[in-house]
Amino acid sequence: MQRILSSPNPLEVSELKQRLEGAGIACLTRNETLGSFIGVVPLTEGVPELWIEDDAKMADALRVKQNWKAEDSVAGSPWVCPVCGQTSEAQFTSCWKCGASKPGA
């Protein structure tokens, strides 16, 4: 058994777990509920972790993780709303302030 992810964000751990299981890679989560005890237990023992059950599947699991991380990084740069002038990050297709569509979207 090998750890593939350790993150203070339990949503990250959960999302990667779903992807791995979808790819047929058995895994388990540790320290899911210890986050509320950080400060009482050592930080290294309170952070949620994701572990691969079969070491032989680690290369496949790392590929799934790499693809997952690549999807997180959206290409492009921030854009300025043509209606209200608000700056939005590249992944957004409409302005959060006024709802106008991103130019070219």
pTM, 2 dp: 0.60
| CB atoms inside a 10 Å sphere around CB 74 | 10
Alpha helices (runs of H) in the chain, residue ranges in sequence order: 10-22, 43-46, 58-72
pLDDT tens track of the chain, all 105 residues?
A: 999 998 888 888 999 999 999 999 999 998 876 555 556 655 556 688 999 999 999 999 999 999 888 776 556 788 999 999 999 888 888 988 899 999 886
Q: Check residue 50 and give its pLDDT.
A: 94
